[in-house]
Copies of this chain bind each other. A is one copy, B any other.
Amino acid sequence: MLIVQKFGGSSVADAEKVRRVAGIIADTYCEGHDVVVVLSAQGDTTDELLEKAAEINEKPSKRELDMLLSTGEQVSVALMAMALEKMGLPVVSLNAWQVGLSTDSNYGNARIRKISGERLRRELDKRRIVLFTGFQGINRYDDITTLGRGGSDTSAVALAAVLRADLCQIYTDVEGVYTTDPRKVPSAKKLDEITYDEMLELASLGAKVLHNRSVEMAKRYGVNLEVLSSYVRAPGTKVKEVVKQVEQMRISGVAKDAEIVSIAIKGVPDEPGVSFKVFRALAQAKINVDLILQSVGHDNTNDISFTVARADKDEAMRVMEKVVETMGAEGVAVDEKVAKISIVGAGMVSGSGVAALMFEALYDEKINIRMISTSEIKISVLIDERYADQAVQAIHNKFFGK
Contacts and interface: CB of A to CB of B under 8 A. Distances in A.
Contacts of A57: 82-83, 85-86
Given A61-B85, A68-B74, A79 B93 contact: no
A66 to B, nearest CB: 8
A71 to B, nearest CB: 4
**Chain A at the B interface: SS class:** helix
A165 interface: no
Interface string A94-123: 010110000000000000000000010000
A93 to B, nearest CB: 5
A143 to B, nearest CB: 7
B93 A64 contact: yes
B86 A56 contact: yes
Number of copies: 2
Interface residues of A, number: 36
Contact of A56 (B56, B82, B119): B82
A68 to B, nearest CB: 4
A60 interface: yes
Given A53-B82, A65-B82, A68-B78, 15 more contacts: A15-B55, A19-B56, A53-B79, A56-B79, A60-B86, A61-B81, A64-B81, A64-B93, A67-B78, A67-B81, A67-B95, A68-B75, A68-B79, A71-B71, A119-B142
Interface of A: 15, 18-19, 49, 52-53, 55-57, 60-61, 63-65, 67-68, 70-71, 74-75, 77-79, 81-83, 85-86, 92-93, 95, 97-98, 119, 142-143
